[in-house]
Amino acid sequence: MRDADTVLANVRRGMLPAHIYNDDEVFAAERERLFTRAWVFVAHESEIPQVGDYVVRKVMDNSFIISRDQSGEIHAMFNMCLHRGMQVCRAEQGNASHFRCPYHGWSYRNDGQLAGLPFHKEAYGGEEGFARKQQRLIPAPNVDTYNGLIFVSLDPDAPSLPDYLGDFAFYLDYYTKQSPSGVEVLGPQRWRIKANWKIGAENFAGDMYHTPHTHTSVVEIGLFREPKAAKRKEGCTYWAGRGGGTTYKLPPGTLEERLRYVGYPDEMIERMKEQWSQDQLDVIGRDGFMVSAASVFPNLSLVHNWPKVAEGGDADDDAVLPFISLRQWQPIGPGETEVLSWFVVDKEAPEEFKKLSYKAYVMCFGSSGMFEQDDVENWVSLTTTAGGTMARDLLLHGRMGLLEDDSPVVEPLKPDQFAGPGEARVGYAEHNQRALMNEWADHLDGGVRA
Ligand code: FES
Ligand SMILES: [Fe+2]
């Protein structure tokens, strides 16, 4: 990285050195300093509902088996054999009571404990010479869940997950706790894009500004009820704890009318009313904002939207239906990211709703999604250009919403205008992207974890 102090100082004042989006040294610093510390999303509990279920996921380049053991407890185990380092589990998901290493055949229980090794007696002197009991796949230093979302931190001294998420948990509930049963997820679809991982995280955190331009065609073909993508500027962005997101402004009406407007059936609305706090309900029913895209630092994003899934008039609420997607920007290299995209739906939602919501998701996001394709075209191009030598001298402008003297263009909403925690503002701004990149700078500044 060219003079790390200058790079971080520029990021903190909202001027982004272009090369941070495609630079080997920056990527190495992220690998050593950021992904060894932050809480990183790895899976949702509904992906491993039964005893023995597992998925294999990564935190940066570290592979983990996320398993549910015979007693139902969840584990995240470093997927590297204690013998000579082979990857113990090579399937992406499945159900197993044991994992057997393909190299020499050591086998481990699904809680990580070494169970057996070939020729234990002849080669190791049996239990006396080499006790299996003391051997287990290395557990991730920290594992915790929120609404079934499983997070891992490689830092033994990490703050607790609730402290890390902070007030962003308030907003996570809209996506992942619409009823007492929570959500189930489908996926992930996985694909690789030649783009830096930070671009997607920043975009989902707060980029309402790109919607009218990048996604014009999606609106023009009538996928949305609103005739103008510029409607986005009436929404607000919010930042709380270690995450932030965007909202749409809803038309006047009661809580129920507004939830119906985005396509929720009455039985789901009744459960939301039971499930969410008065403040959570007030953001929608009193203040008229509905969450859309969001990101949690570093690389988890969410999206909630309500496209037209059926032909209908402009005012026809029956024509739109909401979907939720969860996605992870899994870094592969400075110029490459693996995208993991899940469809998310309330477990208690009616079957017909689940079916149509899935249809809405595949139209908009995922490998077939129209938004996805619009976005990625920009991000790949940006990343390619950021890798060139000229980009090293360019500071990108990330100060939208700030005047020259750092005072805000628009003041934050007051508690009687926005019931949610954190700071929310109406209109286009880059406060959220700056908040995300400030976290990034703080992590890179923190030194290499011993
Ligand atoms: S490397 Fe796993 S058994 Fe030898
Ligand atoms: Fe987009």
Q: 65, 80, 83: which to mutate for ligand 1, most atoms within 8 A of CB?
A: 83
Cis bond before residue 265 (omega within 30° of 0): no
The ligand 1 site (C-beta within 6 Å) comprises: 81, 83-86, 101, 103-106
- The alpha carbon of 217 and the centre of ligand 2 are apart by a number of angstroms equal to 12
What pLDDT is recorded for position 189?
96
Q: Which runs of E-coded beta strand occur in 20-135?
A: 39-44, 53-59, 62-68, 74-78, 93-95, 98-100, 107-109, 114-116
- Which residue lies with its CA nearest to atom 3 of ligand 1? 104
What pLDDT is recorded for position 223?
82
Phi, psi of 98 (to 5 degrees): -140, 155
What pLDDT is recorded for position 153?
98
CA-angle at 436, arms to 431 and 438, nearest 5°: 90
Q: Spell out the domains of the chain, with CATH numbers in brackets.
A: 41-145 (2.102.10.10), 166-445 (3.90.380.10)
What pLDDT is recorded for position 314?
52
- The alpha carbon of 117 and the centre of ligand 1 are apart by a number of angstroms equal to 9
- β-bridge mates for residue 248, sequence order: 290
- Ligand 1: atom nearest CA of 86 is 1
- Which residue lies with its CA nearest to atom 4 of ligand 1? 104
Cα–Cα distance, 151 to 37 (Å, whole number): 12
pLDDT of the chain, 450 residues: tens digit per residue: 668 999 999 999 999 999 999 999 999 999 999 999 999 999 999 999 999 999 999 999 999 999 999 999 999 999 999 999 999 999 999 999 999 999 999 999 999 999 999 999 999 999 999 999 999 999 999 999 999 999 999 999 999 999 999 999 999 999 999 999 999 999 999 999 999 999 999 999 999 999 888 988 888 888 887 767 668 889 999 999 999 999 999 999 999 999 999 999 999 999 999 999 999 999 999 999 999 999 999 999 999 999 998 765 555 556 899 999 999 999 999 999 999 999 999 999 999 999 999 999 999 998 888 898 899 999 999 999 999 999 999 999 999 999 999 999 999 999 999 999 999 999 999 999 999 999 999 999 976 655
Phi, psi of 324 (to 5 degrees): -130, 140
Q: Which runs of E-coded beta strand occur in 297-426?
A: 300-305, 323-333, 336-346, 395-397, 423-426
What pLDDT is recorded for position 232?
84
- The alpha carbon of 371 and the centre of ligand 2 are apart by a number of angstroms equal to 6
Cα–Cα distance, 244 to 302 (Å, whole number): 10
- The alpha carbon of 236 and the centre of ligand 2 are apart by a number of angstroms equal to 16
**Cβ atoms < 10 Å from Cβ of 416:** 9
- Ligand 1: atom nearest CA of 88 is 2
In this structure, what token pair is assigned to residue 48?
Answer: 């491993």
